[in-house]
Structure 1
Amino acid sequence: MVSVAEATGIIQAHPHVATSERVPLQHSVGRVLAASVTADRDFPPFHRVAMDGIAIAYSSYESGQRTYDLRGMQAAGAPQQRLPDARAALEVMTGAVLPEGCDTVVRYEDVSIEGGVAIIRTDDVQRGQSIHAQGQDAQRGTTLLGPGQKISPAEVALLAAVGQTEVSVLSWPSVAIISTGDELVDIEATPLPHQIRRSNSYALSAALRQVGIEANLFHVPDDR
């Protein structure tokens, strides 16, 4: 009979050397990262508008201006526009790149618009408000995920954001569960009065399957 301490020593003397493989991103949930993942660009990659409204140069508001001629619309997904006049404004949509020459966004709720003219109705405008600054979440080259990280839907979103169509993950280990003893019979058998069904093997197999590992079940009778 091998003691628990001896069995532990044997296992530790023969460590499992993990290998890796590449899998499609959509099949990576539940797997474990084998390598670090870094940002391939700033996040966000540009000064991003965070509220629908108008974009202005704060210096004009600071000088007391509250009425602005609207000179166009900066839509989300469109190339960056330029503010033609520091005393004008551009309408902007959430997710759009901040127009060149602007450093502040005033939400529509604080503005009235009529005849191509916007009037700011609040005295509580701060420089840089309603803007998600470039690189605020992460800068290019920043490590976003490390090896050993289990991949959940949140990690899938991050991997997609950095353009990883395939992911380097640890390969699943090969596992065998071995039950021993003449008193154990398989679950489909009818046990004799002195026997029991070998349920623990199936419990262990189910526990491994919960983390994505398939196991092979074996049974060894007692030595004679």
Structure 2
Amino acid sequence: MISYFEALLKIFNSLNKHILHLQGNKKKLINTLNDIAFEKIIAVHDLPLFKNSAMDGYCIHSKQTEAYSNKNFKITGSLNAGKNITYKKQDLNVVFEIMTGAKIPSGFDAVIKLEDVYIRQQYFITINKKVKKNENIRQSGEDFKKNNIILKKGDVLNPGTITCLSAFGITKINVIKDPSVFLLSTGNEIAS
């Protein structure tokens, strides 16, 4: 009969030999929490794809707030996530109400938070604060650039990595197939 520690050593040596021959198993991403990735995944595009608002507020031309004492701006429209507009008129005294995740229209370079403005009338706001260029804007590729490694083979899938993979539209992933384990309980009567 071998000792407990010798038995453990044999088991671990056997596992190390077989770990190179593990098989992948394609699973729905939603069912992979705490699984181990069997493949490397590379970003196929920038994430986010475009400049978008980091919070609810108003997109604005930052230069218009340099002399920021009680300046009034006309609200030209409202932008929700998924809505795309082309704003050709370059009137610097207008703003768009914008929701978190909405695309920043061309020509605008900052977002002022909803709580930092005073709504004067239905279509006008007053700003008492200087807004910096790119303030409250998430840049294209800020989270991931195209060809960045999102997931390495051998990484454990956690809620963060699952969310990230989902943001890229990935619905299935190869994970290490769960091993088949058997437990055989014996007593002294077998060892003789």
1:201 corresponds in structure 2 to none
Q: Check whether the contact 2:150–2:165 (CA below 8 A) recurs between aligned residues.
A: no
**Bigger relative contact order, structure 1 or 2 (CA pairs below 8 A, ≥6 apart):** 2
Amino acid at match of 2:9: T
- 1:170 aligned onto 2:176: yes
Shift of 1:174: 2.5
Unaligned runs of 5+ in 2: none
Percent of paired sites with the same residue? 28
Match of 2:118, as an amino acid? Answer: S
- Aligned-partner Cα distance in 2 for 1:24–1:117: 48
CA–CA distance in structure 2, aligned partners of residues 109 and 10 of structure 1: 62
Distance 1:83-1:128 versus aligned 2 partners, 3 A rule: farther
Q: Once the 2 structures are TM-superposed, how far is the Cα of residue 49 of structure 1 from its aligned partner? A: 0.6
The offset of 1:105, in angstroms, is 0.9
8 A Cα contact 2:68 2:128, kept in partner:
no
Instruction: Say if 2:82 is the partner of 1:77.
Output: yes
Question: 1:30 Cα deviation (Å)?
Answer: 2.8
Match of 1:8 in 2: 9
- From 26, 34, 37, the equivalent of 2:38 is 34
Which of these residues, 100, 113, 123, is aligned with residue 116 of structure 1? 123
What is the number of residues matched between the two proteins? 185
Distance 1:15 1:102, change over 3 A: same
TM-score by length of 1: 0.71
SS at match of 2:103: coil
Q: After TM superposition, give the deviation of residue 84 of structure 1 in Å.
A: 2.1
CA gap of 1:84–1:63, structure 2 versus 1, over 3 A, is farther
Secondary structure of the structure 2 residue equivalent to 1:178: coil
State the shift of 1:18 in Å. 0.9
Distance 1:10 1:132 in 2: 50
For 1:152, the equivalent position in structure 2 comes to 158
Letter of the 1:178 partner, please give it. Answer: L
Change (3 A) 1:178 1:50: same
- In structure 1, the partner of 2:138 is 132
Cα deviation per residue 1:149-169 (whole Å; 9 max; x = unaligned)?
222333322221122221101
> Which has the larger displacement, 7-16 or 78-87?
7-16
- Equivalent-residue separation in structure 2 for 1:90 and 1:152 (angstroms): 37
Structure 2 CA distance for aligned equivalents of residues 25 and 56 of structure 1: 39
CA distance in 1 between partners of 2:56 and 2:171 (Å): 32
- Using the size of structure 2 for normalisation, the TM-score is 0.82
Q: Which has the larger radius of gyration?
A: 1
